[in-house]
């Protein structure tokens, strides 16, 4: 009988994976907490929350219970002309955590679609008001998803190259990372004074797939203030940074200026089911309230506001809202910070950075920092052999574990990182 790996190789096309010379995919048969269990009995620590989604850990019994209860009552109903309690309650709960300027919740399927909705909201806002503003500003190394609108506002990369002539033009500016804040701010000023800009989209404080690039709240506040002065809609892509990843419920919680639109996904259901959300202000919504049906936002998905996904999100929200939940976040933050201080002078590193529960280490290599840096496969293989799931971004090795991970597992991961670095050089 064929193994799962053999059957997979015959029938399945995996994401971000070459179809030639690809490694055999490891068949996972069950998961619990921070662990993945393979068909052959091996147990792996999921140090990246399976693409940043499993915030509470795998197969959380409370979320599973709520999903089971919901699917026995209502699985899915068309969300045009109908509604249901789980979607309404989830929208209310999310709005209670989002800034006060957020007024409405639009449901979709994932992070990319949440971004698509945000872009269409912003552009149609000006279309409905009969104002000719179509330019969008984004960061050079941004990543907002793989659908066409999301690719357009992402940076030029191997993800987007084959479609470069098909995506729409976007004005890209430098990221306001350390020692580059003034240049980035000046670029934004110059663009706003020269162009009619509709929207500015950004990943607040951390650019994820762009290399875990990190920057500070004050400079983002300045950039948002400039956008508001020029009547530019600000879009916060919190798909990755939301739900405590940066140490706060939302990364934008630390900003004085609040975005006009939020994009949410990943941790919204604790990693159990796909769900996307886009929220907006009353001002944006008002542009769509009109007797002219052509001013309607004609956008939707077959599984919009799926009741089972919404019930998973409500269960996830219950866990986030527990009085002692934040202690898990702060514990991981503290552990990461202690390790960062102990390792930052290692000769194999060019930089170590942290925001909340996200820790990134930039490994010194002869080639430049890119997603395809040859060290990527070396890192992945080394850690898989140590039964740790790490999926590096080129030479950027990062940790984004589920909040349930134990101190013991964190220490094991830190020790393995140090062993890998020692292979390449010594502490100085």
Share of the chain above pLDDT 90, in %: 94
Q: What is the pLDDT of residue 2?
A: 86
What mean pLDDT is predicted for residues 360-367? Answer: 91
- The pLDDT tens digits of the residues spanning 228-260 come to 999 999 999 999 999 999 999 999 999 999 999
What mean pLDDT is predicted for residues 84-97? Answer: 98
Backbone angles phi, psi at 96, to 5 degrees: -70, -20
- The pLDDT tens digits of the residues spanning 125-137 come to 999 999 999 999 9
For residue 93, CA distances in Å to 264, 320, 378 come to 13, 11, 43
The model's confidence at residue 374, banded by pLDDT at 50, 70 and 90, is confident
349: left (phi over 0), alpha (psi -120 to 50) or beta: beta
Q: What is the pLDDT of residue 369?
A: 65
Q: Which residues, 6 or more positions from 301, have their beta carbon under 8 angstroms from its beta carbon?
A: 108, 109, 113
Q: What is the fold of 4-59+325-424?
A: 3.90.1150
Residue with tokens 């026995």: 72
Task: Clarify whether 237 is annotated catalytic.
Answer: yes
DSSP 8-state symbol, 23: P
What mean pLDDT is predicted for residues 119-129? Answer: 98
Task: Clarify whether 16 is annotated catalytic.
Answer: yes
Query: Encoding tokens for residue 371?
Result: 């997603």
Largest CA distance in the chain: 69
- Specify burial of residue 4 (Cβ count, 10 A radius: 0-12, 13-18, 19+): middle
Distance CA 39, CA 37 (A): 7
Q: What is the pLDDT of residue 373?
A: 80
Q: What is the pLDDT of residue 368?
A: 66
Q: What is the pLDDT of residue 83?
A: 98
Task: Say whether pLDDT at 352 is over 70.
Answer: yes
Which member of 35, 125, 143, 398 is catalytic?
143
Distance CA 236, CA 115 (A): 9
255: closest CA among 286, 216, 298, 282?
A: 216
Report the mean per-residue pLDDT for the chain.
96
- The pLDDT tens digits of the residues spanning 200-229 come to 999 999 999 999 999 999 999 999 999 999
Task: Say whether pLDDT at 392 is over 90.
Answer: yes
Distance CA 83, CA 71 (A): 16
Q: Where are the beta strands (DSSP E) in 165-242?
A: 171-173, 197-202, 206-207, 213-214, 233-237
Task: Say whether pLDDT at 428 is over 50.
Answer: no
Q: What is the pLDDT of residue 338?
A: 98
What mean pLDDT is predicted for residues 158-167? Answer: 93
Strand partners, 46: 389
3-state secondary structure 82-139: CCCHHHHHHHHHHHHHCCCCEEEEEEECCHHHHHHHHHHHHHHHHHHCCCCCCEEEEE
178: closest CA among 419, 353, 9?
A: 353
Which member of 266, 355, 398, 409 is catalytic?
266
- The CATH number of domain 63-320, selected from 3.40.309.10, 3.40.640.10, 3.10.20.340, 3.40.250.10: 3.40.640.10
Q: What residues does each domain of the chain span?
A: 4-59+325-424, 63-320
What mean pLDDT is predicted for residues 137-163? Answer: 96
Task: Clarify whether 266 is annotated catalytic.
Answer: yes
Task: Clarify whether 143 is annotated catalytic.
Answer: yes
Query: Encoding tokens for residue 67?
Result: 């999903």
Backbone angles phi, psi at 407, to 5 degrees: -60, -35
Task: Say whether pLDDT at 372 is over 90.
Answer: no
Which member of 46, 109, 237, 409 is catalytic?
237
What mean pLDDT is predicted for residues 146-169? Answer: 95
What mean pLDDT is predicted for residues 15-22? Answer: 88
Q: What is the pLDDT of residue 426?
A: 64
- The pLDDT tens digits of the residues spanning 186-207 come to 999 999 999 999 999 999 999 9
């Amino acid at each position: 009988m064929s193994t799962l790996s053999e059957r997979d190789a015959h029938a399945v096309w995996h994401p971000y994976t070459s179809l030639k010379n690809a490694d055999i995919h490891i068949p996972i048969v069950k998961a619990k907490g921070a662990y993945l269990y393979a068909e052959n009995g091996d147990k792996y620590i999921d140090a990246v929350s399976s693409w940043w989604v499993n915030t509470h850990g795998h197969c959380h019994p409370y979320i599973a219970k709520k999903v089971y209860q919901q699917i026995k009552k209502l699985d899915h109903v068309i969300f045009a002309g109908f509604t249901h309690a789980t979607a309404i309650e989830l929208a209310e709960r999310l709005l209670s955590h989002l800034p006060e300027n957020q007024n409405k919740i639009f449901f979709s399927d994932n992070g990319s679609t949440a971004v698509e909705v945000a872009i269409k909201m912003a552009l149609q806002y000006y279309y409905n008001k009969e104002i000719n503003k179509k330019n969008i500003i984004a960061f050079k190394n941004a990543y907002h998803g793989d659908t066409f609108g999301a690719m357009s506002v992402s940076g030029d990369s191997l993800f987007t190259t084959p479609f470069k002539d098909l995506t729409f033009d976007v004005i890209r500016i430098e990221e306001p990372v350390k020692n580059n804040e003034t240049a980035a701010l000046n670029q934004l000023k110059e663009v706003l004074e020269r162009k009619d800009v509709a929207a500015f989209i950004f990943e607040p404080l951390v650019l994820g797939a762009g290399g875990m690039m990190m920057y500070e709240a004050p400079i983002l506040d300045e950039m948002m203030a400039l956008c508001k002065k020029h009547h530019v809609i600000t879009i916060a892509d919190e798909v990755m940074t939301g739900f405590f990843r940066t140490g706060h419920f939302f990364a934008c919680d630390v900003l004085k200026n609040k975005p006009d639109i939020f994009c949410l996904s990943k941790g919204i259901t604790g990693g159990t089911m796909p769900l996307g959300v886009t929220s907006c202000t009353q001002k944006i919504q008002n542009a769509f309230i009109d007797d002219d049906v052509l001013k309607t936002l004609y956008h939707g998905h077959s599984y919009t506001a799926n009741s089972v996904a919404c019930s998973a999100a409500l269960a996830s929200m219950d866990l986030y809202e527990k009085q002692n939940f934040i202690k898990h976040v702060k514990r991981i933050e503290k552990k990461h910070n202690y390790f960062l201080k102990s390792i930052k002078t290692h000769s194999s590193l060019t930089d170590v950075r942290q925001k909340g529960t996200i820790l990134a280490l930039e490994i010194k290599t002869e080639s430049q920092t890119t997603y395809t840096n040859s060290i990527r496969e070396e890192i992945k293989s080394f850690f898989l052999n140590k039964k740790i799931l790490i999926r590096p971004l080129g030479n950027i090795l990062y940790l984004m574990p589920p909040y349930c991970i134990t101190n013991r597992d964190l220490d094991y991961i830190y020790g393995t990182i140090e062993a890998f670095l020692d292979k390449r050089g010594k502490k100085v």
